[in-house]
Chains A and B, each alone.
Chain A
Amino acid sequence: MAAASSAQSSHSWRRVARDPVLLSTILVVWVLLALFVVFPLVELLARAFVDEGKVTLGPLLEIVSNGGHRTALANSLILATAVGIAGTALGFLFAFTAVRAGLGRHWLTLLDAVVLLPLVSPPFTTSISIIFSFGPKGFISHDLLGLGNVSPYGFWSTALAETLTYFPIAYLTLRPILAAIDPNLEEMAFSLGGSRGRIFRTVTLPLAVPGFANAFLLLFAASLADFATPLILGGNGFPVLPTEAYLQITGLFDFKGGAVLSLVLLVPAAFVFFLQRYWVGRRTYVTVTGKVGQRSRTRALAPWAGVLLVAGCFAVAALIAYFYGLLVYASLVVAFGANNSFTLAHYHVIFTEGLPAIRDTLIIAAIGMPLGGFYGVLVGYLIARKNFPGRRAMELVAMINYALPGTIVGIGYLIAFNDPPIALTGGAMIIVACYVFRYSPTGIRATVALLQQIDRSLEEASSSLGAGSGETFRRVTLPLIAPAFFAGLGVVFIRSMTAISATIFLVSISWTLITVRILENMTELALGPAAAFSVFVIVVVFIVVAALSAVLARFRAPTAGTAARSFLGG
């Protein structure tokens, strides 16, 4: 068997070696992956565990024995669990309502829009609104409830903000699973005389269990990695690991301590990632059959239950809408809570003082977008279509930066690219590289998914008709996977506009980002400009998403477009 497999691999080497375009492409991708994924991670590990040329666990033990850090680890896990449970419940409420409550198309679109809003917003949006609502002069706590000196900081507000920000992930995970549960099963149980409540408990819920597990793990990972929300809302009383690592580096300039702290975060993050991807993720795979629309409405939902579900959804949707409305309002008044007279001063500020940040962000996004889109399509194509040694390894390595919490990636880049031979710190390129390698995996996955639907003989026909592998890729494959390309573009752009956890370590005097400016505004309590920046980002992202959706809608293969569009949301 060993001889056979080595004969096979030497054979595929021979084929790769005969195709210079393919060979050089593979080599270039590997060099990029080695440089921007493996090298920073190795440097991070070396910084954390190597002292004067010797491997040591000393710094790790030091960190772990520190009571404050242990509290931060415990807080991170508690927060992630809470967000996982609450977000999954909320996601289920929305998914079940969307699938079973028999809402009209327009109501569903509205629900979708409200749900997807948090996914494309900069990370502080909900946090800002929570401060506006529950702060000492908060709209809800002070104006409506008449409470005095309440603090909007701590576990509860952090958990609320993260739940509202990340529950759409649970919604997107659970909705196709619930839609794939054949209503006929419920109908049958109904005709056998089961009560509606009993059918829900004994048929619907058990079928959705793998979906729950999947949604919970995804939310757990998202909360664990979240940096922005706890930084704003956690306050002194509720430290978590990512913020601790950040303060270790920016406050104490302790790179080693920051590296070790971020690696402590890696343990639960990696555990959850592999659990989700290789155990739960496999079981919940649902194919899009397009049959859902043709099914008759199920009777398995009592009318009062339907009303309750819809009411619950719209209450949550109203809360989200309220938060965003508040944000817009706050950006248009002098000082929210104290002086509510109309002004455009905050927008004036962000387009004068804040202009460098806007310009830098747009430049970086504009460079990163095509690079990331092309890189995603190229790697996805290699993985899905070409047989070369090390293909599985390439797939795995390409996913690493996507799976790691942003704090780890950011600190790794900071340590790796701070000094020669490759000194990139302070420039725009390091931020672009961070975005490309962290957010292109979405494009890679979209490409692989699309290619699996495209018959391989199309490419064989092209080469049989005399086109080389480069020409085949350009003229046949690329046009067919264009939807994935645009989806990849969209994701890289959205994240370039909204991300902070990794890039906060990479900004400099010459290159800064809108999200970092929002954070600075928040810490200076300049909430007006922060709100105006957030509104600006949301508007830009919405315009770009709408434009990309319009482009995607033009593609002939409707399933391909839908598949790619769903990646935009997720």
Chain B
Amino acid sequence: MSVRFTNVVKRYGATPAVAGISFIVESGTLVTLLGPSGCGKTTTLRMIAGLELPSEGRIEIAGRDVTNLSATERDVSMVFQSYALFPHMSVLENVAYGLRRSGVAGAEATQRALEGLAQVGLEGYGQRQPSELSGGQQQRVAVARALVLKPSVLLFDEPLSNLDARLRRQMREEIRELQQRLSLTVVYVTHDQQEAMAVSDRIIVMNAGRIEQEGSPRDLYERPATPFLARFMGESNPAKGQVRRLDRARVIVRLGSTEIEVGDSSAKEGAATVAVRPEAITVEAAPGPANALPGTIAKASYLGTHMEYSIDTAAGTLFATCPRVERPLPVGASVALVLAPRGVIVVGV
């Protein structure tokens, strides 16, 4: 493996920013640290980079204990949120900077820097100044500058937060494509759940300095372990329900007057918190099919691609998205809700 954290703690004064975390990043994978601001994800990334030293615990990179090594001594490169391009150097000088510092001779450093620029699609931009480039181009220079050192691990700190929405999608595809093409080991920090799902092999969700859950994007979306995760990974409605176990792999979840059979091997019987995904709710005009959940439309908004409804039901107010925009339902209309089993998740008691 490329990165291993063992019981790592980081304290500022008395307050722990990271309260004891352990995880592994396998070589050639892209792992995202995801969480709300202040959850400790950036501190964790900076500890991999060596820009912060842990208060306790052990950090290994490529099998070597680097716990107390500084950033300079670690075989790790970071792409900063602000790009941190040196404003007094040309693009080429920026990219060659790390090579020159690690003792690569001038001509070879230039050659490798030019290759690095080619890899990010910036051939011919070497003599420009960073200030003459667009945001996306500056981002690519920052990536090339980190990439040419062929580090064991490449770190990205919220790399897309300074770009506009259209460019964000393009850049995240480019980063993912580059990572897969060169089999890079990447640790990526973001607070954007969609961005994390789009680029990652694995996601580590952090909250309040701890790891809340880790797994593949699909794992986390379909089987969030806690109410926080259900809320954070996409949208969900918290609802109060009753669980009754059918057999080892299946339970019946009762919400109001409806019962849904859900695949689940761990939920306990009795009262439970249930997360309902908005896209798993089909809104029909009342009376609807048997076993539907009756409700009344409280709010309705037209968003072009879909409708958004708030619906009062016996299981609480549920928020639903509905792709049928051609026949909107008015506020006050009686409706019947059909819940798809994949979007009904038991997240706790």
Binding site for B on A (CB under 8 A): 1, 3-5, 7-8, 11, 14-15, 18-19, 455, 457-458, 460-469, 471, 475-476, 479-480, 556-557
Contact = CB atoms under 8 A, between A and B. Distances in A.
5 contacts: A457-B80, A465-B77, A480-B87, A556-B88, A556-B131
Interface residues of B, number: 31
B277 interface: no
B264 to A, nearest CB: 44
Nearest to A482: B88
Nearest to A459: B84
Contacts of A464: 49-51, 71-72, 76-78, 146
Interface of B: 11-14, 49-51, 53, 55, 68, 70-72, 76-78, 80-82, 84, 86-88, 97-98, 101-102, 131, 145-146, 149
A463 B71 contact: yes
A116 B78 CA distance: 47
B70 A466 contact: no
Contacts of B131: 556
Contact of A8 (B13, B50, B70, B87): B13
Given A4-B13, A466-B101, A471-B101, A11 B55 contact: yes
Closest 4 pairs (CB-CB, A-B)? A465-B98, A461-B84, A4-B14, A457-B84
A461 B68 CA distance: 19
B80 A556 contact: no
A463 B70 contact: yes
A557 B86 CA distance: 12
B82 A457 contact: yes
Contact of A460 (B80, B88, B98, B149): B80
Given A463-B51, A467-B101, A557 B80 contact: no
Chain B contact surface mostly: loop
A458 B70 contact: no
- Among B12, B55, B76, B78, chain A packs the most CB atoms within 10 A around the CB of B78
A467 B86 CA distance: 13
Contacts of A479: 88
Nearest to A11: B55
Given A8-B13, A460-B71, A465 B149 contact: yes
Given A461-B78, A463-B71, 16 more contacts: A11-B53, A457-B80, A460-B51, A460-B84, A461-B145, A463-B51, A464-B76, A465-B77, A465-B145, A465-B146, A466-B102, A467-B72, A468-B72, A476-B86, A480-B87, A556-B87
A4 B86 CA distance: 36
A468 B101 CA distance: 9
A200 B82 CA distance: 45
Given A1-B14, A479-B88, A465 B97 contact: yes
B142 to A, nearest CB: 8
Instruction: Select the residue from B12, B72, B98 with max chain A CB neighbours within 10 A.
Output: B72
Contacts of B51: 460, 463-464
A462 B97 contact: yes
